């Protein structure tokens, strides 16, 4: 089925749909991972974005019920060079096309993903509109231009959980309404395991798996929960999750984190890294085309070692503004020298821009969860 992708700058790309008729719009970005498309599709950090895979063959190992990072597909649409309709993998239970169609997400193939990626790298990430119903380039370009800009959007409130839940037995277990307002009685293993409040700005399941595997009991709370309610739960540590959109409009979370600094050890990643930086007096800015893939080289300034990391973000923290606030820079991206990690010199808080939990990606940075637990233990 013929389709057309139109960018806001006027360039168009012919393609075809492998999921039937439909239309979709959003910011179009590219991901350089060779595998992990199921994890990418379900990563809440991709909310409202059209994702292009640079690896040419997608769908060859199908879909399984385990490798999901949230309860649903998060991307606005999915673009590939060649879709493989007949997967071969012992874990596969269905095709990628069926998975997308069941959730009403448009999948496009026969698209020149190499040309699109080069265009985005040169011109920057931009808004796009796709249709199988209307193939008029001028109409689709105009629709792309009317899509809200990513800059200035608070998408964390869109993807955050509305109900607190416990991560137990590798699944989400929503707390009974009778347990609210929340109190320290929520902890089943207080004293046996470290109790972690994870503030959900778009959290991935593998973060929760990683915290749980590190010996923590984890309760996930909505992005808008205030500092007083978090303190009332008496956690041992606080985790700030990844998430989509611009960090600066998430003012409610920035104010909450300001009040939590110095109360308990804090570990932030991705959007949580940016929110923590803003709470410490830093500033953020939008990257030209972002970092999205499982092969981003990051230098650990303390050890001199290079970590190959999984990343997914379109905004970054300004280094100069952060260093003025008694903050030590700990990690730098070796591709463009942007900030990848920091810690405060006085308070037990640290953060990284990348994803130590991976999924997909290498496990070079998984030690950071152990670092968080050790920090909690030294503050106990």
Active site residues: 270, 355, 357
CA separation for the pair 170, 172 (Å, rounded): 7
Q: Which of 184, 187, 239, 183 lies closest to 217, judged by CA?
A: 187
CA separation for the pair 360, 309 (Å, rounded): 10
DSSP class of 61: T
Q: CA distances (Å), 59 to each of 35, 44, 56, 124, 283, in order? A: 9, 20, 10, 27, 39
Q: Which of 311, 308, 273, 269 lies closest to 292, judged by CA?
A: 311
Q: CA distances (Å), 356 to each of 92, 177, 255, 372, 376, in order? A: 26, 33, 25, 12, 18
CA separation for the pair 284, 6 (Å, rounded): 29
Q: Which residues pair with 57 in a beta bridge?
A: 82
CA separation for the pair 310, 123 (Å, rounded): 24
What order do you get walking across the sheet with 171-174 strand by strand?
171-174, 165-168, 216-222, 194-200, 237-240, 266-269, 349-352, 339-344, 327-333, 284-300, 306-317
Decide if 332 contacts 301 (C-beta within 8 A). yes
């Amino acid at each position: 089925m013929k389709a057309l992708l139109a960018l806001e700058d006027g360039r168009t790309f012919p393609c075809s749909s492998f999921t039937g008729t439909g239309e979709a719009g959003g910011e179009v970005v590219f991901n350089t991972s060779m595998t992990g498309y199921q994890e990418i599709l379900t990563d809440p950090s991709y909310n409202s974005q059209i994702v292009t895979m640079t690896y040419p063959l997608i769908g060859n190992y199908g879909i399984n019920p385990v490798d999901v990072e949230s309860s649903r597909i998060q991307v606005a649409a999915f673009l590939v060079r060649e879709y493989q309709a007949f997967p071969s993998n012992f874990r596969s239970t269905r095709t990628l096309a069926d998975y997308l169609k069941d959730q009403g997400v448009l999948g496009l193939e026969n698209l020149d993903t190499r040309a699109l990626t080069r265009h985005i790298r040169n011109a920057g990430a931009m808004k796009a509109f796709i249709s199988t119903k209307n193939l008029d380039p001028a109409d689709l370009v105009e629709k792309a231009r009317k899509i809200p800009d990513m800059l200035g959007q608070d998408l964390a409130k869109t993807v955050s959980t509305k109900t607190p839940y416990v991560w137990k037995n590798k699944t989400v277990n929503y707390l009974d309404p009778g347990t609210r307002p929340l109190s320290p009685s929520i902890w089943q293993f207080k004293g046996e395991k470290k109790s972690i409040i994870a503030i959900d700005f778009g959290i991935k399941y593998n973060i929760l798996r990683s915290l749980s595997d590190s010996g923590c009991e984890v309760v996930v709370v909505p992005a808008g929960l205030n500092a007083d309610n978090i303190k009332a739960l008496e956690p041992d540590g606080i985790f700030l999750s990844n998430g989509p959109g611009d960090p600066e409009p998430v003012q409610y979370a920035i104010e909450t984190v300001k009040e939590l600094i110095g109360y308990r050890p804090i570990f932030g990643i991705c959007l949580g890294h940016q929110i923590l930086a803003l709470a410490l007096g830093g500033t953020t800015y939008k990257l030209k085309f972002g970092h999205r893939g499982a092969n981003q080289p990051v230098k650990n300034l303390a050890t001199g070692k290079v970590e190959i990391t999984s990343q997914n973000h379109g905004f970054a923290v300004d280094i100069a503004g952060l260093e003025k606030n008694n903050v030590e820079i700990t990690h730098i991206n070796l591709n463009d020298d942007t900030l990848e990690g920091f810690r405060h010199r006085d308070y037990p808080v640290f953060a990284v821009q990348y994803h130590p939990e991976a999924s997909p990606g290498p496990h070079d940075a998984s030690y950071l969860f152990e670092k968080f637990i050790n920090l909690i233990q030294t503050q106990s």
